[in-house]
Homo-oligomer: A and B are copies of this chain.
Amino acid sequence: MTNGRRQNIVWFTLSIVLFLVVWEAVCRLLQMPAFILPPPSSVLAALWQQRELLFGLHLWVTLREVLLGLAVSILVALVLTFLMNFSRTVERLVYPYLVISQTIPIIALSPVFILWFGYDLSGKIAVTILFTFFPIVVSAFDGIRSADRQMVQLLKTMGANRWQVFVKLQVPSSLPQFFSGLKVAATYSVSGATIGEWLGASAGLGYFGRRASGNFQAPALFASVLLLSFLGIMLFWLAGLLEKRMTGRRRKRKINKGERFL
């Protein structure tokens, strides 16, 4: 297990290093203008130069937005999934709006957002929620509906009500699909917070990046993008870890002789 994790980290590092090498190579071989795509070396230099601002302020601002937004989003998604599962009417009335909410370009609604949420944290959280709840709802809902029919019936013969079928069977068996959605959402949460900051902010990595872009400081812009990516990867990884934790009990046992050939 620890061995596997160590190996994972090695692979991850390898893939990041490869990425940086390819990036540097692209910059040099294709002679990309540095003000459009700066080489990673200069980006890392900028990261170091701006470390106080980035790590002292902006990273934390964005991190808070992301985490709060994602947490509320999961809550919202679960409540929606729950309601849609228990009432066909709610499902039919609500589902179209969920889809609609994802097709509206945020720019169209940004004035409304500003009017309603202003420039404080709530606005960024709202955008993050808008960006992330959808994949969770769709996968959780699909997961819940795909619970084994025969098991549902067996539970009914035990006198289980809908709530018990939900808790004892549908929820556990939808976990794999729920986590697929959560991983996607975790990744998107970073973009959500960034866009949230673009609607109006005075701190955060998105704000920083935009300013850097306005000042033609491509390395600084990419330094913030690098941090954003890093944040996204961490969140994805955390979601994966959570998945292992929550569904691991049954997996752990599976990993025995029987799996040698898989």
Contact (Cβ within 8 A) A191 B233 = no
Query: Assuming the A-B contacts A108-B221, A134-B184, A180-B138, are A190 and B103 also in contact, with contact meaning beta carbons closer than 8 angstroms in the complex?
Result: yes
Contact (Cβ within 8 A) B187 A236 = no
Q: Which residue of B lies closest to A111 (CB)?
A: B36
Any chain B CB within 8 A of the CB of A54? no
Integer count of this chain's copies in the complex: 2
**Shortest CB–CB separation between residue A137 and chain B, in angstroms?**
9
On chain B, the residues within 8 Å of A210 by CB distance are 107
Give the B-binding residues of A (Cβ under 8 A): 8, 11-12, 14-16, 18-19, 32, 36-37, 92-93, 96-97, 99-100, 102-105, 107-108, 111-112, 115, 134-135, 138-139, 142-143, 146, 149, 152-153, 156, 176-177, 179-181, 183-184, 187-188, 190-191, 194-195, 198, 206, 209-210, 213, 221-222, 224-225, 228-229, 231-233, 236, 254, 258-259, 261-262
